[in-house]
Amino acid sequence: MKTLIIYTSIHHKNTEKIAKKMANILEAKLLTPDEADTNTFKEYDLIGFGSGIYHRKFHENLLNFIDGLPVLKNKKAFIFSTSGGLWLPCVNDFNRKIKEKLTEKGFDILGEFSYRGFNTYGPFRYIGGINKGRPYEKDFKKAEKFAKYLKDVVLKK
Ligand SMILES: Cc1cc2nc3c(=O)[nH]c(=O)nc-3n(C[C@H](O)[C@H](O)[C@H](O)COP(=O)(O)O)c2cc1C
C-alpha cells in the first residue's frame, strides 16, 4: 500500500508532529500542498489530508489545492487536524468543509480525527497559550492507533 500525506502546519508545527507519527506507521510520503504534484496521485492507494485549524477551517492553501484537483476515481482518503478548541463533530465540525470538497472530488473518506494543539493565537498569547505541550504522548499514541486502523482497513479491502 502506498500512502501520501499532504499537510499544512504553520503555527507551532502541531499538525506536522501528528503527520510524522502517522507517516511512520503508514510508511507514507509527507508533502506540503506546494510540494505535492497531482500527476503522481495515481501512484497512491491512500492520501491523508492534515492541517491546523485556522478560523474554524483547514488552511486555505490545502483547501485551494483540493479545489484544483481533477475528479478522481477509486481514491481513498483520511483527514486529520489539530486545533485549539475541542472538535465536536455534531456542533463544531472543523473537518466538514474539507470532507465536502474531497467527496466532490471523488474521494472515499475512510476516517477522520482531530487532536488538540498548543495555541498562542490572539488573546491566548497573553496567558502563555492554551494546550501547552500538546500534542503530547497520548495524542501520538491515538494518532498511531488511527494510522494502524487505516492500514488494516485499506489492506483488508
Ligand atoms: C490564525 C489562527 C487561527 C486559529 N483559529 C482557530 C479556530 O478557529 N479554532 C480553533 O480551535 N483553533 C484555532 N487556532 C489554533 C490552531 O488550530 C492550533 O494551534 C493548531 O494546533 C495549529 O496547528 P499547527 O501548529 O500545525 O499550525 C488558530 C490558530 C491560528 C494561528
CA 95 vs CA 25, 61, 124, 155: distances in Å: 22, 15, 23, 25
Q: Binning pLDDT at 50, 70 and 90, where does residue 156 land? A: low
Q: Among 103, 3, 81, which residue's Cα sits nearest to residue 43?
A: 3
Q: How far is the CA of 54 from the centre of ligand 1 (A)?
A: 5
Substitution candidate for ligand 1 out of 11, 114, 127, 131 with most atoms within 8 A of CB: 11
> What whole-number distance in Å separates Cα of residue 92 and Cα of residue 59?
16
Locus of grid cell 486502523: 149
SS3 call for 97: helix
pLDDT score of 157 more than 80: no
Give me the pLDDT at residue 155, please: 60
Q: Among 85, 32, 78, which residue's Cα sits nearest to residue 57?
A: 85
Q: How far is the CA of 73 from the centre of ligand 1 (A)?
A: 32
Substitution candidate for ligand 1 out of 7, 12, 53 with most atoms within 8 A of CB: 53
Q: How far is CA 119 from the centre of its chain?
A: 17
**Structural domains in the chain?**
3-156 (3.40.50.360)
Residue 79 has phi, psi (to 5 degrees) of -130, 140
Residues 6+ apart with CB under 8 A from 119: 11, 12, 83, 84, 129, 130, 131
Q: Binning pLDDT at 50, 70 and 90, where does residue 91 land? A: confident
pLDDT score of 154 more than 80: no
Q: What is the pLDDT of residues 13-36, one digit of tens each?
A: 999 999 999 999 999 999 999 999
- Report the amino acid identity of residue 46: L
User: Chain-wide mean pLDDT for the chain?
Assistant: 93
SS3 call for 69: coil
Please state the pTM of the whole predicted model. Answer: 0.95
**What does the pLDDT average to over 4-15?**
98
